[in-house]
Structure 1
Amino acid sequence: MTTLTSNAPRGAQTQSAGSRGTALTGTGTLIRFILRRDRIKLPAWILGIALLSMYYGAALPQIYKTDEDLRAVSQFAEGTMGALIAGPGYGLTSPTVESVIVAIYGLYFLLLAALMNILLISRHTRVEEQTGRAELIRANVVGRHAQLTAALIVAVGANIALSLLIAGGFAAADLDTGGALLFGASVGAVGLVFAGITAVTVQITEYSRAASGLAGAALGVAYVVRAAGDTIREGGSALSWFSPLAWSQQTRAYADPRWSPLALSVAFAVAAALLGYALSGRRDLNAGLVAPRRGSRYAAPWLNSPVALAFRLQRASFIGWGLALAAMGALYGALTKTLVDSFEDLPDNVIDIMGGDPTRMLDGYVSTMGVFDALLVVVFVILGVQSLHGEETKGRAEPVLATGTGRWALFGSWIGMLAAGVTALLVIVGLALGLSTAISVGDSSYVGKVLGAHLAYLPAILVVLAVAALLFGVIPRAIGATWALFGFSMILGFFGPIMDLPQWVMNLSPFEHIAALPLDRMTWSPLFALTVIALALTALGGYGFRRRDLDMK
């Protein structure tokens, strides 16, 4: 063997040595693989976010037909409550359709772009390792950092495309394009930031769900920091600058255009990506920097059931959401007195959003926070059903079903555990906000009032859970369509009272049928009806899951 090797042609020896490549060898091929696999999902994300700009550009002129109408809606975002929900409100002194889109609805673009990038990077790095595909790829001539590099390059391209399409959406809606490219770039910059953050989190843990959860927690912290900073002082305080969401909002498109804050986003994204590369070199393939905790050698008897399996798989997500909602509730509750004191001279349309009674603005704030927190719990619900689909597509549901566990048991346990988690999360955030509010205003009765205002939305959230469960059972790859119901309900929940929409449109949101406690009296019949609808849709989803083939990607 030695003789044969030493006598081999010099060119063959060189080719063999060179075939080992560098740390980035194979990046171009992996980029093509990613684009091939995401040929539907990634364009759907990009076009879906970009079309929002066209939608708002076409819809708002029909809703707010005069300058007075625009001024009325802009007054909502100029106050403390508007800063809490939307941002600093630049460009609303002399509002236009363009400045209203950026100042009031712009935050939603930022959040969606962040989620798109978190899922993109996790899907093409940690998921590839977790499923074993990365090991097969690395068995070829593929560099150590090629996978992460390919994912990041696709993310950069996706964010550039998103920025340009958002600007194109303004042009297609016949709006002023003077600040459209800056606004689009600010959205893309947030995407790059969270692509970089996810490049770090996928190195920490072995599991894609945990990696995405850590990046999602970072997004939650960024939102809370931005909200706190923007409510402290009009136009944002120094605290706001600790949030990457605020960097994009500080570009002030259609008000006082500034490109310089985006340099912070780019620098942070590059630094995070470099940290991801450094951490990647310190771990083995399929492993994380933090080793998973060893479990007990023998399982407890109570774990031998599909209910226990559903609990164990969702436990980390529930704990993370519970801690985040509790912290947010405590923070917003502590600001209650300051916020309510700032409501003295609110315009009529903002009073309508807060319940319509200027003498009960504290109760209006409580009811608004009830809707806000309920919508956040809806995010937990949709992600929970998507994780069940993930268990199926990754082949982990099949071994469970090969035992004595039937499909109804697996489906019912998972959906039932999500329903229990929803109830627990509403209690957690309701108590945290209620206790903090009671301390802030000096009235202990608000503990019960705030808790009731949150629990009243349980049937509405269960309807969303049931819709997601139905899609999982019948058309599992269409679960993402549930996000449309979430977005629709969110828009109506905050802006429905001033949009002058037909009542039948308002009724399409399950949240519109809930009494706004403590402003309104409790009405039980809608709660009963929504619960029945949720049970019926869930049953149909279970029936569909029982009859279809497993979705194995």
Structure 2
Amino acid sequence: MTAVLDAPTRVHVASGSGGSLTGTGRLLLFMLRRDRVRFTSWVLGLTLMMAYFANAIGLILDETAVQGFAALARNPVIALIGGPGYGFDEITVGRIVVGIYGVYLMLGAALMSILTVSRHTRAEEQAGRAELVRANVVGRHAQLAAALILVALMNVVMTVLMTLAFHFSPLEPEAFGPSLLFACSVGAVGLVFAGVTAVTVQLSAFSRAASGMAGAVLGAAFVIRGLGDMSRAQGGDLGWLSWLSPLGWSQQTAPLTLDRWWPLLLSLGFAVLCTTTAVALQSRRDLAAGILQDRLGAGRAPGWLRGPLSLAFRLQRSALVWWSVAILLGGITFGTFAEPMVENAAGLPDEIMIIFGGTEGIIEGYLGFMSVYFAFMVAVFAILSVQALVGEEQSVRTEPVLAASVSRAGWLLSWTIVAALGSVWLLALAGVGNGIGAALATDEWGLLGDVLVGQIAQVTSVWALLGLAVALYGFAPRLVGLTWAVFGWGTALSLFGDMLQLDEALLSTSVFRHVGQYPAQDLSWSAVAVLTAAAVALIGIGVAGFRRRDLTTA
């Protein structure tokens, strides 16, 4: 029997005047509807943080304390955690807010942009929903364009609200321009990292990897900016490094001091360049695919990959490798600043020296402070690890694991054990790096052992946050993000609480305040025991909740 087939009929769907951007408006409205709570939470949360800084610091600091901050410009560690300290020679409360606390508002804006762009682009493709959307009359670049417009709106609204919050605070800036410039410098960082994420979501087929790459760029930007500002604070030759960082561009505007608008052109130009690159890359890849090709795995799994613990390690191995490299290099780099700390310690006020555990043993004080600083970083790894577990469940990869001979408790505990031991490993690398860097700078190799002990002891603080994240995951995966609020609160109190002379009862609410900054301070073994017990209890609560709830797939 012969069958006669007609020539294929080409079905033409009118693309409309927008071409590859057709449907952008409708997708934007849908994203606004979907993110109505996230939009409000991010924008108001960052604005309230600005309002808190602008109001509380002005009320807490008296004239004597304000003058004490003038020495911050000479301190490389404060330059690391805050910024270049423009205007500190004629210090005001407004310049303290801009020069020290502004960078953390910028980090918040960057995280908002990274997570939002990834959520509405690569996460949609990975879940298969983007394919359904593209089956309609929707242009190739419409979803990316809508996501970028959404993030731009978030940053614009945030900028307007921050301007008002800063200008009408007790600081009472004389002119409106510096308030607007400060808020625009924060929003500019958000736009830059929206563009960065637009590129990374084209590179990888997985939202977690795309967000991780964008986060790595943010981390590198913070470190590069910090190294440049530290060098500048001690009269070094590496101050130019700050100009290689998007965070540095915004800080170089120096509101209330230099009031320079032109550095924001660098941010705007870089954001446009990243967006153009993202569009070009998206034109070269298939839907749900990445520019970076996935490596094919072996046809048969190795013998060691049989249990849930080994599988959990395999899934977190790549992240551990990259974190290990970054932490070790960062430890060596920051350790080498131990000797310059001694040279710049003379004349610093007590409000600053208390950060390093007192006036005795400035090298030990600096290394003790860095042990807590690296605990902040490793805590980020631990929280992200739990969020990765949320992604495994929502991507329907947890269900096949539990369909085998793996209990829910066994799977969650295996993942948590890998994250907990990984935290110990990373802190040990930080201790080794810090110790080696300090020993090379001071020729005191006896520091290495003490620094390593002090750094590893901080793991109990990290475990407490890990336990909280696991407890939230066990009952409601969507609530894991609340751990970031606890982390941010604890970090802010540890970095700035003593300088602001806050009440000890308030300072004790920070999870990072209890272990002690060894070798400058004695370790509190009772705090180590309590934090460890709290972590174990929280993990147990999370396991109990996970055993009783349904799996989520969206």
- Residues 74 and 389 of structure 1: CA distance in aligned 2, closer, same or farther (over 3 Å): farther
- Residues 400-455 of structure 1, C-alpha deviations (whole Å, 9 max, x = no match): 22222111011111111110110010011111111111111101111112111211
- Is 1:57 the counterpart of 2:59 in the alignment? no
State the partner residue of 2:465: 464
Given that 1:126 and 1:208 are in contact with CA atoms closer than 8 Å, whether structure 2 keeps it comes out as yes
Given that 2:368 and 2:521 are in contact with CA atoms closer than 8 Å, whether structure 1 keeps it comes out as no
Partner AA of 1:320 in structure 2? W
Mapped partners of 1:497, 1:450: distance in 2: 23
Secondary structure of 2:499's aligned partner: helix
Mapped partners of 2:171, 2:345: distance in 1: 33
Mapped partners of 1:340, 1:50: distance in 2: 38
Given that 2:193 and 2:214 are in contact with CA atoms closer than 8 Å, whether structure 1 keeps it comes out as yes
State the partner residue of 2:72: 76
Secondary structure of 1:301's aligned partner: coil
- Is 1:185 the counterpart of 2:184 in the alignment? yes
- Residues 472-503 of structure 1, C-alpha deviations (whole Å, 9 max, x = no match): 11232121111122112112212222333333
State the partner residue of 2:352: 350
TM-score normalized with structure 1 length: 0.94
Partner AA of 2:400 in structure 1? P
Pairing partner for 1:34 from 31, 34, 53 = 31
Partner AA of 2:37 in structure 1? I
Mapped partners of 1:312, 1:532: distance in 2: 28
Moved more, 171-180 or 46-55: 171-180
How do 1:21-420 and structure 2 match up within 5 A?
22-64=19-61, 66-177=62-173, 178=176, 179-234=178-233, 237-356=239-358, 358-420=359-421
- Is 1:547 the counterpart of 2:553 in the alignment? no
Mapped partners of 2:270, 2:338: distance in 1: 33
- Residues 20 and 135 of structure 1: CA distance in aligned 2, closer, same or farther (over 3 Å): farther
State the partner residue of 1:492: 493
CA RMSD of aligned residues (A): 2.1
Given that 2:69 and 2:88 are in contact with CA atoms closer than 8 Å, whether structure 1 keeps it comes out as no
Of all paired residues, the percent bearing the same amino acid is 44
Cα deviation, residue 550, structure 1 = 2.0
Partner AA of 1:244 in structure 2? P
Mapped partners of 2:248, 2:79: distance in 1: 11
Cα deviation, residue 344, structure 1 = 2.0
- Residues 74 and 308 of structure 1: CA distance in aligned 2, closer, same or farther (over 3 Å): farther
Partner AA of 1:272 in structure 2? C
Mapped partners of 1:299, 1:310: distance in 2: 14
Moved more, 434-443 or 385-394: 385-394
- Residues 549 and 2 of structure 1: CA distance in aligned 2, closer, same or farther (over 3 Å): closer
Given that 2:439 and 2:445 are in contact with CA atoms closer than 8 Å, whether structure 1 keeps it comes out as yes
Secondary structure of 2:519's aligned partner: coil
State the partner residue of 2:452: 451
Given that 2:160 and 2:183 are in contact with CA atoms closer than 8 Å, whether structure 1 keeps it comes out as yes
Mapped partners of 1:329, 1:191: distance in 2: 28
- Residues 355 and 17 of structure 1: CA distance in aligned 2, closer, same or farther (over 3 Å): closer
- Residues 164-198 of structure 1, C-alpha deviations (whole Å, 9 max, x = no match): 11112224534325322111100110111111111
Cα deviation, residue 19, structure 1 = 5.9
Cα deviation, residue 232, structure 1 = 1.7
- Residues 334-375 of structure 1, C-alpha deviations (whole Å, 9 max, x = no match): 22212321112211211111111x231001100110110001
Given that 1:21 and 1:142 are in contact with CA atoms closer than 8 Å, whether structure 2 keeps it comes out as no
Given that 2:338 and 2:442 are in contact with CA atoms closer than 8 Å, whether structure 1 keeps it comes out as yes
- Residues 50-81 of structure 1, C-alpha deviations (whole Å, 9 max, x = no match): 111111122112311x2222122343354222
Cα deviation, residue 17, structure 1 = 4.3
How do 1:474-553 and structure 2 match up within 5 A?
474-553=475-554
Mapped partners of 1:74, 1:483: distance in 2: 32
Given that 2:379 and 2:465 are in contact with CA atoms closer than 8 Å, whether structure 1 keeps it comes out as yes
Given that 1:377 and 1:425 are in contact with CA atoms closer than 8 Å, whether structure 2 keeps it comes out as yes
TM-score normalized with structure 2 length: 0.94
Mapped partners of 2:398, 2:277: distance in 1: 35
Cα deviation, residue 20, structure 1 = 9.8
Given that 2:461 and 2:531 are in contact with CA atoms closer than 8 Å, whether structure 1 keeps it comes out as yes
Cα deviation, residue 456, structure 1 = 1.2
Secondary structure of 1:173's aligned partner: coil
- Residues 52 and 77 of structure 1: CA distance in aligned 2, closer, same or farther (over 3 Å): farther
Partner AA of 2:166 in structure 1? F
Q: What 5-or-longer segments of structure 1 have no aligned partner?
A: 7-12
Partner AA of 1:50 in structure 2? T
Given that 1:392 and 1:398 are in contact with CA atoms closer than 8 Å, whether structure 2 keeps it comes out as yes
Mapped partners of 2:139, 2:542: distance in 1: 44
Given that 2:225 and 2:245 are in contact with CA atoms closer than 8 Å, whether structure 1 keeps it comes out as yes
Mapped partners of 2:6, 2:158: distance in 1: 56
- Residues 377-407 of structure 1, C-alpha deviations (whole Å, 9 max, x = no match): 1111111111112222232222222222111
- Give the aligned length: 544
Cα deviation, residue 105, structure 1 = 0.6
Cα deviation, residue 504, structure 1 = 2.2
Q: What 5-or-longer segments of structure 2 have no aligned partner?
A: none
Secondary structure of 1:194's aligned partner: helix
Given that 2:309 and 2:418 are in contact with CA atoms closer than 8 Å, whether structure 1 keeps it comes out as yes
Mapped partners of 1:500, 1:475: distance in 2: 37
Given that 1:333 and 1:435 are in contact with CA atoms closer than 8 Å, whether structure 2 keeps it comes out as yes
Given that 2:231 and 2:239 are in contact with CA atoms closer than 8 Å, whether structure 1 keeps it comes out as yes
Mapped partners of 2:475, 2:124: distance in 1: 27
Secondary structure of 1:147's aligned partner: helix
- Residues 70-116 of structure 1, C-alpha deviations (whole Å, 9 max, x = no match): 12234335422211211101132233222211111111011111111
- Residues 16 and 139 of structure 1: CA distance in aligned 2, closer, same or farther (over 3 Å): closer
Mapped partners of 1:165, 1:19: distance in 2: 37
Cα deviation, residue 534, structure 1 = 1.0
- Residues 446 and 171 of structure 1: CA distance in aligned 2, closer, same or farther (over 3 Å): same
Given that 2:367 and 2:434 are in contact with CA atoms closer than 8 Å, whether structure 1 keeps it comes out as no
Given that 2:72 and 2:85 are in contact with CA atoms closer than 8 Å, whether structure 1 keeps it comes out as no
Secondary structure of 1:346's aligned partner: coil
Given that 1:77 and 1:104 are in contact with CA atoms closer than 8 Å, whether structure 2 keeps it comes out as no
Mapped partners of 1:125, 1:482: distance in 2: 25
